[in-house]
Structure 1
Amino acid sequence: MWRLVLRNTLAHRGRLALTLLAVLLGVTFVTGSLVLTDTSRRLLDEQFRTATAGVDLAVRDAAAFDSAMGVEVERDPLPATLVDRVRAVPGVAAAVPVVRGQGVLSADGKAIVPAGPSLLMSWEPAPVGAFTLRTGRAPVADDEVVVDAATAALHGVGLGSRVTVRADETAVLRVVGLAGFGAEPGLPNSTVALVGLPVAQRLLGLGGGVSEIDVVAADGAGVRRLRDAVATAAGPEYEVTAGRDLAASSAAAAKTQVASLQLMLLALAAAALLVGAFLIANTFSIVITQRAGELAVLRAAGATGAQVLASVLGEAFLVGVTATAGGIGLGVAGATGLRGLAGAFGMTLPDGGLVVAPRTLAVAFVIGLGVTVLSALGPARRAAAVAPVEAMRRSAAETGAGRGRTVTGGLAAGLGIAGLAASLIGNGSVAVLAAAAVSAVVGLALLGPVVTPALSRTIGRPLDAAGVSGRLARESAARAPRRTAATALALALGLALISFMTVLGTSIKESMQRSYTETITADFVVESARNEMLGGLSHHVHHHVSELPQVAVASRIRYGHWKDGERTEALTAVDPGTLSRVTALHLVEGSLEAVSGGGVVLAENIARERGLRVGDTLEMTFSRTGTQRLTVAGILRDRDAQALSTGYVISLDTFSRNYREDVDAAVLVKVADGVGDDAAEKAITAALADEPTAKVRDQASAAAARSLTIDQVLGLVTALLMLAVLIALLGITNTLVLSILERTREIGLLRAVGMTGAQLRWMIRGEAVLVAALAIVLGLALGVAFAAGTVSTLGSATQATLTIPAGRLLLVVAVAALAGLAAGALPARRAAGLDVLAAITRS
């Protein structure tokens, strides 16, 4: 039997080639996603292990939690006296004070602003320091600095060069050394300036304080016992952490973006494999129908139904193995391309050698083989169930859907429509909407053969303008409803996902921008050019801007994270005394000014969800001060809360009591009366000449910046979803190629009665375009409908309203139609190249 399986697979390799390619592309996507994320995780682990190499213990200010939403919290500095106490603990070989902070480098008068952090650190001698000199020497004098070798090479900085470091204070320093980070020339997407400890303390405004104390254990001293001893000597207000635990904690915070990216990539890979499954099932259905006579002979010769089933599944297994092996190879090679694509859309990942874990290979093989074999199972069971005599009488002609299939499909579609309707009227949930989407797709798949003939004849009516070729294309698609429906649905799923993401992303983006422009009345907004999560603007920015005579008011905004049980939330800190002059906030209850006393203003949907009113208290856990009870001072309209980016608003005074971070996210600026916008912008820009990370934006630009992340994610998702569309287009090509084999005699008769080669080619192309048109109608209907349901479901929290981007959707339609036309090119050439006499005489 296995020899027969191998012979049949090789004999029909041309028919199965595009199926193999679809599986290969899907497995490539899965493998590339896993390799990329595994590699990023390993590189981050190595990076933080390198950073703590040689450190047995680290002493820091105590905190309720280490990180939130991928950002490590900033801790209070340690007093210099603590260093001596730690050194005096028996078993401590060395206790090295460390200072770390943000410091922007400038070379040749130009600021160096990387995508990541600009680090200013004290030079740490071996074995504690993670940076090692590549050339030059360590900094000793107050005017000396060591720069990471990567930054030096990229910006032409060498030994003896003068660079400017801007932190809390600014200094011009001479480069005396270039350092590497472990085996690398520097940290990815960062700049690093290493100076002496007193210089770092002065530039960062720490006085005699230090950020951390790194402890090296003496030979023979147990780290666990030493940690207890150091903790006792330091006191309960300080935290003592093992070096390896510190590295793991820091790496875990940095991996947050990687985890989100992996989830998105695997979801898109699943979509591509689902589309591929339709292609596989359709291909095996057609091939088995065309081989009915061959299978009948096998049954007549004594083969059992189980053996026929095994034969067909064996062919699927061979296709799956071959495609999976190729997909793994391409996936490993394509991981670098995925990393570059993610970087192009703003998701910066660490660069380094690729990691191919055994788990990746196992998952790829299970998915590749599983999708292929399971997709072929239905056609294989139908082949095994046909009696020999019946199989000998069967032709390749299709029948419509059975009654059971129609009833089941109708029920599934009805449930999907009901779930969608509930979401549209505001009574649904995300879970209900997801279930409705699955139900609708199942219903379409089952009802496809029922509705396809009527849809094909209706949607294909414009093809009549092409004459007999167009009419024959329309009738050919309608005459094979199962095949046409399965092929169209595969493409429809890809188009549905693209249109869903396009409509949803546009709706959220437009709503965000609209709420921002309605609520923020400031003339200008000063923000960080790097769009850091917590801000990134030095507090000097507000000072410089507020003192300008061209500015009537400058109001600061800050962001922070806090814990609500196990969940992390974000909050906004404002100056209630000036915010009302640069915003148009609407409070449903209470007043914004009341937050000055240490209260919190909640968004309306959050207050409703938590059952809170003005005067109630809310427990909020801060990293620096632990759990605090804040009084609810007001309830803010949801749209206004969206403009402020979070549903929790506190005062800047409350923020300073609970957070160490001293950076602003934005400064909202109102121009003084009688001052033109151009004059004010020039004055603000000039005042911030020494703040290279500060970006001055007008209201429209600031509103657009709010949705930059959405644009990046939408662009990345759309680019990756094109793989699913490509697989679906392969399905159109594959189906038409196989149908030409089935319709060889019909094509020969058409040529014999006078149809030209050009007319025949246009008939096949017309059929491809009709399948694409069916997919466009179904895909856009599904995508737009469920995007509308999602917007309605999320509306209470996001204040999003449905926006249909007609231009983008028309572009999707045009690309899909042209792609359908291209998909029919190969089958059309093959059909036109058939020998007329041979085709007519073929049985």
Structure 2
Amino acid sequence: MWRVTLRTTLARRARLALTLLAVVLGVTFATGSLILTDTSGRLLDDQFRTATAGVDLTVRDAVAFDSAMGVEVTRDPLPAKLPERIAAVPGVASVRPQVRGQGLLEVDGTAVVPSGPSVLASWVPPPLGAFTIRSGRPPAADDEVVIDEDTARAHRIGLGDTVTVRATDTGRLRVVGLAGFGARGGLPNSTIALVTLPSAQRLLRLGSTVSEVAVVAAPGVAPEELRDRISVELGAGYEVTPSRDIAAAGAAAARDQLGWLQLVLLALAAAALLVGAFLIANTFSIVITQRTRELALLRAAGATGGQVLRSVLGEALLVGLAASTAGLGLGVAAATGIRNLAGAFGVPLPEGGLVLTARTVLVAFAVGVVVTVGSAVGPARRAAAVAPVAALRDATAARTGRLRVVAGALAAVAALAATTAVLAAGAPVPLLGVAALGAVGGLALLGPAITPILVRLIGRPLAAAGVTGRLANESAARTPRRTAATALALALGLALISFMAVLGTSVKSSVRQSYAEVITADHVVESARNEMLGGLSPAVYDRVSRLPEVAVASRLRYGHWRDGDATQALTAVDPTTLPRVTSLHFTAGNLAALDGGGIVLAEHVARDRGLAVGDELPMTFSRTGTRSLPVVGLLRDGDARALSTDYLISLDTFARLYSEEMDASVLIRTADGTGRAAAERAIKAALAETPTAQLRDQAAAVAGRTQMIDQVLGLVTVLLMLAVLIALLGITNTLALSITERTAEIGLLRAVGMTRRQLRWMIRGEAVLVAALASVLGILLGVGFAAATVRALGRDAPTVLAVPAGRLLLVLAVALAAGLLAGLLPARRAARLDVLAAIGTP
């Protein structure tokens, strides 16, 4: 039987070719995602390991936690005398004080603004420093700087050139050296400026303090033992950490920022494989139906049902192994492509050699084989049930069993019940995911029963076009199981695209509406880089607020805090000036009460936590540890959204709890009698010294807040097209296989007068009809669950449902056009059949 299986598979390799391609694409996506995430993790580990090379211990100010939401916390500087105390500890071979901060480079008056940080640091010579001089020499005087090779090459900076470094203070420095970072020419998506220690302290206004102290242990002294000695000497106010732990923590924080991308990629890979599974099951089902007589003859010749079952599963196994091998090879190219695609959508990933692990290889083969064999189990069981007597009669179309209809109805009812529980009873929002799976399962089971009705309804315009349209309509309705499975594969991809489009548009519209209702400022100044915690120097506020054209300027700052194991964000505001540039609505308490050191909560937070004005909220801050802040006000949820967080404190409270000094936004109301154009000219002139500060109107400010949504939506939509491509292959494959099954029918149609052109249009019409059915089901399913998600999210903050009709119509048009293209090859094949030979086909 195994020889029969191999010969049968090779004899029908053309029939399985598109199925093989679908599995290859799914495995390629899955392995490419794993390779990309493994590579990014390895590169980040190497990057942070290089940054701490040669250092045994690092002494820093103690904090309650290192990072939050992928951002490392800012620590207080260390006293100038601390390095001397550390050097005096027995077992210390050497110490090196270091200063690190943000310093924007300007070349010939033009700011160099990378997507990542602009690093300003004091030069540390090897082996303690991560940077090595590639050309020139290290900085020796306070007016000298070393920059990274990558930046120098990109902006044509040479030795002897003068650049401007803008930190807290500004300096014009002469380039005396070009440095590399490990084996690289610099840090990814960053600029590096290395100066002397006094120069770094001056530019960052640190006085004689330092950011951290690097420590090297004496020969024979274990770093762990030395850490304990230094900790005893310095006390609990300082943190003494092995360099490997700092490297691991830094890499983990950086990976946290990419964690969402890994989840998205794996989810999309799963979607692509699910769509491929429908195609596989459909293909094997059609092939088994066409081979009924052959299988019956095998049974008549003595083959058992188990042998037939193993034979069909063996075919699936061969397809799965071949597809996994090809998919694994293509996964390397896919990883590079996804990385480039992510960069094009503003999500930069570390550059470097790709990493292929044994786990990825195992996953590739497991996914390819399990999906293929698992999808073929149902058709294989039907093949095993073929009786020997079936060789004496024609194959009949499979009918939809009553049990299948009942199971499908129960799944649909369960999906409706879960959705109702979320919307009406306040059940957790993730339950909608379970409801979506139930809806898909219900459609898969009910598809054969409802497809004839839907096909005839959707196909009315096609049927009205003439006889070829009516024949296409009836052909699709006559094989409901095949049509339903083919359409559902495409519907899944279109449903995901529609869901993302509606959800993304709704969130953006809600942010825009909340911002417009709450923010009454005439202008907003924000960082062009949209940093998570801001990126505006306090000097921006100082300069803008002093302008005669400005009546009031109010600044906002963002910070992170720990809420148990979770991380939350908060906004710091000025209670005096904020009411003059916003329209806030309190349900209890007031904004002025923040001056006493309390906190204002969004309504839904207070409701979920059971808090009221006068209660206290325990919060853990990196700098001060756990503090309990009194609740002094409750703010309407939509107003809190406009201010970007559900927690508000005063700027004075922020200064006591945080080391960060960067502003996120400056809201400006112009003075009475000042024209808009005059105010803009004055503000832009005040911002000239801070190139990354950007003057925005409300539309631009909202765009900055929703930029991440646009990036994710665009990236996900492009990647989802792979699932749609697999589904379109399913239409081509199904029609191509059905041509073989319908050879006699096609010959008869040609014999009674149908032209080749009419036959081609009949097959294409059937493909378009399947695409139309998939489009209707997919868009309705996607929009429906997006609407339910938006409404559920509205429990916490008002969320407006916004349906992008233009985008959905474009999706529909593209799907129909793609369906037409999918029918080209099967139509051509059908038209080329010999009429007499076709009529004589049994």
TM-score interval w.r.t. the shorter chain? Answer: over 0.9
Amino acid in structure 2 at the alignment position of 1:602: L
Match of 2:511 in 1: 512
Q: How does 1:151-162 map to 2 (within 5 A)?
A: 151-162=151-162
Match of 2:403 in 1: 404
**Secondary structure of the residue that 1:43 maps to in structure 2?**
helix
CA distance in 2, matches of 1:404, 1:80: 80
For the Cα contact (< 8 Å) 2:293–2:390, is it kept in 1? Answer: no
**Secondary structure of the residue that 2:580 maps to in structure 1?**
coil
CA distance in 1, matches of 2:420, 2:770: 28
For the Cα contact (< 8 Å) 1:513–1:706, is it kept in 2? Answer: no
CA distance in 2, matches of 1:804, 1:168: 46
TM-superposed deviation, 1:394: 4.2
**Secondary structure of the residue that 2:576 maps to in structure 1?**
helix
For the Cα contact (< 8 Å) 1:426–1:792, is it kept in 2? Answer: no
Match of 1:751 in 2: 750
TM-superposed deviation, 1:420: 2.5
Match of 2:432 in 1: 433
**Secondary structure of the residue that 1:180 maps to in structure 2?**
strand
Q: How far does the alpha carbon of each residue in 1:483-504 deviate from its partner, in whole angstroms, 9 at most, with x for none?
A: 0000000001111111011111
TM-superposed deviation, 1:391: 5.1
**Secondary structure of the residue that 1:786 maps to in structure 2?**
helix
Match of 2:814 in 1: 815
CA distance in 1, matches of 2:430, 2:349: 32
Match of 2:375 in 1: 375
Match of 1:210 in 2: 210
Query: How many residues are aligned here?
Result: 842
CA distance in 2, matches of 1:282, 1:289: 11
CA distance in 1, matches of 2:355, 2:8: 38
CA distance in 1, matches of 2:168, 2:407: 69
Amino acid in structure 2 at the alignment position of 1:838: A
CA distance in 2, matches of 1:26, 1:326: 11
**Secondary structure of the residue that 2:216 maps to in structure 1?**
strand
Match of 1:655 in 2: 654
Match of 1:799 in 2: 798
**Secondary structure of the residue that 2:464 maps to in structure 1?**
helix
CA distance in 1, matches of 2:699, 2:29: 38
Match of 2:285 in 1: 285
Q: TM-score, normalised by structure 2?
A: 0.99
Amino acid in structure 2 at the alignment position of 1:323: A
CA distance in 2, matches of 1:146, 1:399: 75
Match of 1:702 in 2: 701
State percent identity of aligned pairs. Answer: 69
CA distance in 2, matches of 1:476, 1:310: 32
For the Cα contact (< 8 Å) 2:295–2:386, is it kept in 1? Answer: no
Answer with 698-707 or 19-28: which moved more.
698-707
Match of 2:443 in 1: 444
Q: How does 1:426-505 map to 2 (within 5 A)?
A: 427-505=426-504
**Secondary structure of the residue that 2:310 maps to in structure 1?**
helix
Q: How far does the alpha carbon of each residue in 1:3-52 deviate from its partner, in whole angstroms, 9 at most, with x for none?
A: 11110111000100000000000000001100001000000000000000
**Secondary structure of the residue that 2:20 maps to in structure 1?**
helix
Q: How far does the alpha carbon of each residue in 1:402-423 deviate from its partner, in whole angstroms, 9 at most, with x for none?
A: 0111111111111212322344
The 1:392–1:345 alpha-carbon spacing in structure 2 relative to 1, beyond 3 Å, is farther
CA distance in 2, matches of 1:247, 1:399: 61
Q: Given the alignment of the two structures, is residue 110 of structure 1 paired with residue 118 of structure 2, yes or no?
A: no
Amino acid in structure 1 at the alignment position of 2:300: A
Q: Given the alignment of the two structures, is residue 251 of structure 1 paired with residue 251 of structure 2, yes or no?
A: yes
**Secondary structure of the residue that 1:780 maps to in structure 2?**
helix
For the Cα contact (< 8 Å) 1:398–1:482, is it kept in 2? Answer: no
Match of 2:824 in 1: 825
Q: How does 1:300-315 map to 2 (within 5 A)?
A: 300-315=300-315
Q: How does 1:456-605 map to 2 (within 5 A)?
A: 456-605=455-604
Amino acid in structure 2 at the alignment position of 1:106: E
TM-superposed deviation, 1:152: 0.5
TM-superposed deviation, 1:802: 1.1
For the Cα contact (< 8 Å) 1:671–1:680, is it kept in 2? Answer: yes
Q: How does 1:273-422 map to 2 (within 5 A)?
A: 273-390=273-390, 392-395=392-395, 397-422=396-421
For the Cα contact (< 8 Å) 2:293–2:391, is it kept in 1? Answer: yes
Match of 2:679 in 1: 680
**Secondary structure of the residue that 1:797 maps to in structure 2?**
coil
Answer with 698-707 or 195-204: which moved more.
698-707
TM-superposed deviation, 1:677: 1.1
TM-superposed deviation, 1:801: 1.7
CA distance in 2, matches of 1:171, 1:436: 60
**Secondary structure of the residue that 2:173 maps to in structure 1?**
strand
For the Cα contact (< 8 Å) 1:508–1:798, is it kept in 2? Answer: no
For the Cα contact (< 8 Å) 1:522–1:669, is it kept in 2? Answer: yes
For the Cα contact (< 8 Å) 2:292–2:390, is it kept in 1? Answer: no
CA distance in 2, matches of 1:516, 1:5: 65
TM-superposed deviation, 1:99: 0.1
TM-superposed deviation, 1:678: 1.3
Answer with 257-266 or 485-494: which moved more.
257-266
For the Cα contact (< 8 Å) 1:494–1:724, is it kept in 2? Answer: yes
Q: Given the alignment of the two structures, is residue 143 of structure 1 paired with residue 104 of structure 2, yes or no?
A: no
Amino acid in structure 2 at the alignment position of 1:505: G
Match of 2:643 in 1: 644
TM-superposed deviation, 1:424: 4.0
Q: Aligned Cα RMSD in Å? A: 0.9
TM-superposed deviation, 1:435: 1.6
Q: How far does the alpha carbon of each residue in 1:183-240 deviate from its partner, in whole angstroms, 9 at most, with x for none?
A: 0000011001000000000110100000000001111111111000111122210000
Amino acid in structure 1 at the alignment position of 2:120: L
TM-superposed deviation, 1:470: 0.3
CA distance in 2, matches of 1:653, 1:435: 46
Answer with 528-537 or 398-407: which moved more.
398-407
For the Cα contact (< 8 Å) 1:524–1:670, is it kept in 2? Answer: yes
Match of 2:668 in 1: 669
For the Cα contact (< 8 Å) 1:424–1:788, is it kept in 2? Answer: no
For the Cα contact (< 8 Å) 2:604–2:797, is it kept in 1? Answer: no
For the Cα contact (< 8 Å) 2:138–2:177, is it kept in 1? Answer: yes
Q: How far does the alpha carbon of each residue in 1:150-193 deviate from its partner, in whole angstroms, 9 at most, with x for none?
A: 10010011100000001111010000000000000000110010
CA distance in 2, matches of 1:392, 1:519: 78
CA distance in 1, matches of 2:308, 2:257: 49
Match of 1:778 in 2: 777
Q: TM-score, normalised by structure 1?
A: 0.99
**Secondary structure of the residue that 1:515 maps to in structure 2?**
helix
Q: How far does the alpha carbon of each residue in 1:447-491 deviate from its partner, in whole angstroms, 9 at most, with x for none?
A: 111011111111101112331100000000000000000000000
CA distance in 2, matches of 1:251, 1:473: 58
TM-superposed deviation, 1:431: 3.1
Answer with 154-163 or 703-712: which moved more.
703-712
Match of 2:128 in 1: 128
**Secondary structure of the residue that 2:439 maps to in structure 1?**
helix
The 1:391–1:275 alpha-carbon spacing in structure 2 relative to 1, beyond 3 Å, is farther
TM-superposed deviation, 1:604: 0.3
For the Cα contact (< 8 Å) 1:426–1:793, is it kept in 2? Answer: no
CA distance in 2, matches of 1:817, 1:465: 18
For the Cα contact (< 8 Å) 1:470–1:763, is it kept in 2? Answer: yes
**Secondary structure of the residue that 2:795 maps to in structure 1?**
helix
For the Cα contact (< 8 Å) 1:51–1:247, is it kept in 2? Answer: yes
TM-superposed deviation, 1:704: 2.1
CA distance in 2, matches of 1:129, 1:429: 50
Amino acid in structure 2 at the alignment position of 1:156: R
TM-superposed deviation, 1:426: 5.9
Which consecutive residues of structure 2, in runs of 5 or more, have no partner in the other structure? none
CA distance in 2, matches of 1:385, 1:563: 60
Match of 1:50 in 2: 50
TM-superposed deviation, 1:400: 2.8
**Secondary structure of the residue that 2:85 maps to in structure 1?**
helix
Match of 2:100 in 1: 100
Q: How far does the alpha carbon of each residue in 1:292-336 deviate from its partner, in whole angstroms, 9 at most, with x for none?
A: 111011111111111000000000000001111101111111111
CA distance in 2, matches of 1:333, 1:723: 15
For the Cα contact (< 8 Å) 1:99–1:201, is it kept in 2? Answer: yes
CA distance in 2, matches of 1:697, 1:340: 30
**Secondary structure of the residue that 1:631 maps to in structure 2?**
strand
